[in-house]
Amino acid sequence: MADLLIRRARDTDLPALIAIFAADTVGGHGDTTDSEAFEDYLRAFHVIDASQNEQLFVAELAGEVVGTFQILFNRTLTGRGSLSMTIEAVQTREDMRGRGIGAQMIRHVIEEAKRRDCRLVQLSSNMARVDAHRFYERLGFAKSHFSFKMKLK
């Protein structure tokens, strides 16, 4: 998909991003297109956008946002002080799935990790997303750890 543009997200992309997240019935993140929640998303966007260690991207096709992902950089003492990248919130708009958009987004992520000299690229995926697991494995990711979460809100 040569005409797919992957770029940093802008605040004007928020309505499209929110719609993608709100349409996700598996995630259970409580996302909503309710206009009363928009300020929450806008505040979060500005925090992410100002961060040195977080970046939010969109995949754009013919002027429309069709996918998104967020990356986070984390330096730890383990691995001799190496840098790792975590991929979060990978979503392709439901009507655009199966067209290679997700694969291009992940390839973009991996190239950025190499550019930043990351030791590792990691992500977690909801256990119910069996198709997504096959997708990540096709792209070279291996299941290696269990992920644990504790919801506080």
pTM for the whole structure: 0.92
At which residue do the structure tokens 């690229």 appear?
121
Q: Is 100 left (phi over 0), alpha (psi -120 to 50) or beta?
A: left
Residue 124 C-beta-side C-alpha neighbours within 13 Å: 9
pLDDT of residue 146: 86
Q: Strand 120-123 relative to strand 83-92: parallel, antiparallel, unpaired?
A: parallel
How many residues are recorded in the chain?
153
Residue ranges of domains in the chain: 5-138
pLDDT of residue 126: 84
Average pLDDT per block of 10 residues along the chain, 153 residues long: 92 97 83 94 98 97 97 95 96 94 97 96 90 92 90 86
Q: Other C-beta atoms within 10 Å of 18: how many?
A: 19
Instruction: Classify domain 5-138 by CATH number.
Output: 3.40.630.30
For residues 43 and 56, give the distance between their C-alpha atoms in angstroms, rounded to a whole number. 14
